[in-house]
């Protein structure tokens, strides 16, 4: 897949272009489900932040189905999948010295998550 030509960037941003796709599969997770971010280290493009890999979180919302950026970036197709808003406590991410009141919410593709035991 070729790179987006520069002259197309501004019009797409102005119109609010989206990578949302039709829901063809039911979501694997629901709000309240405990999940673990996969601890993977791909050699290529990923939107999976390194600091959450292997960490436990809680699904807060299913944002719908979107084109999977990791495959699109390499011309491998859209591979639509659900994107979930996942809450990670600060203590889960940075240890007991972090505030127990703080959390980070990250939108993650289905492929980045496993059910927590």
Give the pLDDT score at 34: 98
Task: Tell me the pLDDT band of 7, cut-offs 50, 70 and 90.
Answer: confident
Does any domain span residue 1? Answer: no
Give the pLDDT score at 4: 66
Does any domain span residue 7? Answer: no
Q: What is the tally of structural domains in the chain?
A: 1
Give the pLDDT score at 2: 55
Is pLDDT above 90 for 78? no
Does any domain span residue 81? Answer: yes
Residue 36: both structure tokens together:
């673990």
Rounded Cα gap, residues 5 and 90, in angstroms: 40
Does any domain span residue 40? Answer: yes
Does any domain span residue 3? Answer: no
- pLDDT: which is higher, 8 or 64: 64
Rounded Cα gap, residues 21 and 1, in angstroms: 18
Task: Tell me the pLDDT band of 11, cut-offs 50, 70 and 90.
Answer: confident
Does any domain span residue 12? Answer: no
Q: Mean pLDDT in the chain?
A: 89
For position 56, which CATH number holds? 2.30.30.50
Is pLDDT above 50 for 1? no
Q: Structural domain of residue 57, as residue ranges?
A: 18-115
Question: Each residue of 39-69: pLDDT tens digit?
Answer: 999 887 788 999 999 999 999 999 999 988 7
Does any domain span residue 4? Answer: no
Give the pLDDT score at 22: 85
- Main-chain dihedrals φ then ψ at residue 71, nearest 5 degrees: -85, -35
Does any domain span residue 101? Answer: yes
Residue 106: both structure tokens together:
């990250």
């Amino acid at each position: 897949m070729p790179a987006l030509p520069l002259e197309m960037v501004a019009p797409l941003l102005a119109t609010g272009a989206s990578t949302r796709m039709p829901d063809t599969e039911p979501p694997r997770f629901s709000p309240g489900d405990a999940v673990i971010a996969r601890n993977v280290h791909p050699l290529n493009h990923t939107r999976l932040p390194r600091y959450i890999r292997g960490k436990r979180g809680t699904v807060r919302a299913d944002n719908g189905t979107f084109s999977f950026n990791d495959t699109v970036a390499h011309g491998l197709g859209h591979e639509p999948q659900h994107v979930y808003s996942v809450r990670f406590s600060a203590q889960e991410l940075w240890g007991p010295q972090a505030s127990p009141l703080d959390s980070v919410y990250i939108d993650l593709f289905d492929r980045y998550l496993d059910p927590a035991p």
